[in-house]
Amino acid sequence: MVVVAPGNMSGSTQFTIDGSVGCVDGDEGKVSVLGCAYASPPFTVPGVGTLTIQALGADQTGKQTTSSQTAVILKGSTFTAQFTVTVQTPPPGSSLDPVPQYPRTGQFVTTNLRVEGT
């Protein structure tokens, strides 16, 4: 179980929507959400880790909507994420989680409520 703090994805393109720079394919690779708390039963030690986006879902890039010929990122359904354990501090008599990384999925929560793309 991972408790993810809200992360932000910064756009690297020329277009803006309501003053915010739009995101294009490739911007997702710069997302890194630090300090996410997690627990992995049956291991008794909670920890902290970093969440990154590994791959966008098939419906998360524009097929017709582009910026400088690069597909615009769309909300879509889900992306593939990776959770990497960075800290575990075991109290005496407890067991550590031996798995350092967990594949996960995630979804975007957009602040753009006005523009839709295809």
The predicted-structure confidence for 41-73, as pLDDT tens digits, reads as follows 777 778 899 999 999 999 999 888 778 888 999
pTM of the shown model: 0.81
- In single-letter form, the type of residue at position 36 comes to C
Least confident segment among 25-34, 38-47, 77-86? 38-47
pLDDT beyond 70 at 116 = no
Identify the residue whose tokens are 């990384």: 101
Helices and strands counted in the chain (H then E):
0, 9
CA dihedral 73, 114, 65, 7 (to 10 degrees): -10
49 Cβ contact partners less than 8 Å away, ≥ 6 residues apart:
2, 36, 38, 83, 84, 85, 86, 87
Residues in a beta bridge with 89: none
> What are the backbone dihedrals phi and psi of residue 4, each rounded to the nearest 5 degrees, phi first?
-95, 125
